[in-house]
Amino acid sequence: MHLRKNEVAACTCIAAGVMLALAVGSGCVPANLSPVPVSAPVATASPAPSATPEPTPTPEPTPTVDTVRFSASGDNLIHEGLYNQARARSNDGGYDFTYAYENLRDFYGQFDVNWLNQETLVNDAYEPSGYPCFSTPGDITNALYDIGFRVFSLSNNHSYDKGAGGIEASMEHWAAMPDDVVTAGFYDLDTYDNLSYQTVNGITIGYLSYTEHTNGLNTPDGTQYGVVYLSQTDVIEQQMAEMRPNCDVLVVSCHWGVEGSHTVTDAQRNMAQWLADRGADLIIGTHPHVTQTAEWLTAEDGHKAFVAYSLGNFISAQSEPDNMIGILLDITFTKTTQPGGESSVVLNDPKFHPVVTQYENGYSNIRVYLLEDYTDDLGAAHGNFTLSCEYIQSVLDESVGEEYLA
Tens digits of per-residue pLDDT, 179-216?
Answer: 999 999 999 999 999 999 999 999 999 999 999 999 99
Distance (Å, whole) CA 119 – CA 134: 9
pLDDT for res 47: 56
Q: Are residues 358 and 239 in the same domain?
A: yes
**Phi and psi at residue 239, in whole multiples of 5°?**
-65, -40
The CATH number that applies at residue 231 is 3.60.21.10
Residues 108 and 23 in one domain: no
Q: Is residue 43 part of a domain?
A: no
Q: Work out the number of other CB atoms within 10 angstroms of the CB of residue 352.
A: 24
Residue 323 lies in a domain: yes
Helix (H, G, I), strand (E, B) or coil at 340: coil
Each residue of 139-178: pLDDT tens digit? 999 999 999 999 999 999 999 999 999 999 999 999 999 9
Are 260 and 390 within one domain? yes
Using a 10 angstrom Cβ sphere, with 0-12 exposed, 13-18 middle and 19 or more buried, the burial of residue 204 is: middle
For position 38, what pLDDT does the model report? Answer: 40
Q: How confident is the model at residue 57 (pLDDT cuts 50, 70, 90)?
A: confident
pLDDT digits (tens, 9 = 90+) for 217-247: 999 999 999 999 999 999 999 999 999 999 9
Exposure string (b/e) for 2-24, b if CB count within 10 Å is 16 or more? eeeeeeeeeeeeeeeeeebeeee
Answer yes or no: do 107 and 185 share one domain: yes
Question: Do 23 and 80 belong to one domain?
Answer: no
- Whether residue 8 is found in the same domain as residue 144: no
Helices (H) and strands (E) in the chain, counts: 10, 16
pLDDT digits (tens, 9 = 90+) for 109-138: 999 999 999 999 999 999 999 999 999 999
Judge if 70 and 21 occupy the same domain. no
- Are the C-beta atoms of residues 215 and 239 closer than 8 Å to each other? no
Q: How much of the chain, in percent, has pLDDT values that exceed 90?
A: 85
Please give the residue that has the higher pLDDT: either 139 or 25.
139
Gap between the Cα atoms of 318 and 383, Å rounded: 11
Instruction: Compute the 3-state secondary structure of the chain and give helix, strand, coil in percent, each to the nearest 5.
Output: 30, 30, 40
**Quick one: 80 and 153 in the same domain?**
yes
* Mean pLDDT computed over 247-267: 98
Q: 95 lies in which domain range? A: 64-404
- In this prediction, residue 1 carries a pLDDT of 38
DSSP string covering 181-202? -EEES-EETTT----EEEEETT
DSSP run (H or E) holding 17 = helix 5-26
- Cis bond before residue 132 (omega within 30° of 0): yes
3 and 70 inside one domain:
no
What's the chain's average pLDDT? 90
- 35 lies in some domain: no
Q: Is 372 exposed, middle or buried (0-12, 13-18, 19+ CB in 10 A)?
A: exposed
201, 68 Cβ separation under 8 angstroms:
yes
Examine the pLDDT at 31 and tell me if it is beyond 80. Answer: no
In a domain? residue 223:
yes
The confidence score (pLDDT) of residue 22 equals: 29
Q: Say what angle helices 233-243 and 266-277 make with each other, to 10 degrees.
A: 40
Asked whether residue 58 is assigned to any structural domain, the reply reads: no
**How much of the chain exceeds pLDDT 70, in percent?**
87
Q: How confident is the model at residue 58 (pLDDT cuts 50, 70, 90)?
A: confident
Evaluate whether residue 198 is within a structural domain: yes
Q: Which residue has the higher pLDDT, 86 or 54?
A: 86
Give a yes or no: residue 131 inside a domain: yes
Indicate if 241 and 147 belong to the same structural domain: yes
Residue with the bigger pLDDT between 71 and 58: it is 71
State yes or no: pLDDT of 25 exceeds 80. Answer: no
Within a domain: 233:
yes
**Residues with Cβ < 8 Å from 241, sequence gap 6 or more?**
278, 279
> Is residue 86 domain-shared with residue 171, that is, in the same domain?
yes
Query: How many domains does the chain divide into?
Result: 2
Query: Contact 87/95 with Cβ under 8 angstroms?
Result: yes
Residues 278 and 370 in one domain: yes
pLDDT digits (tens, 9 = 90+) for 355-380: 999 999 999 999 999 999 999 999 99
pLDDT value of residue 61: 86
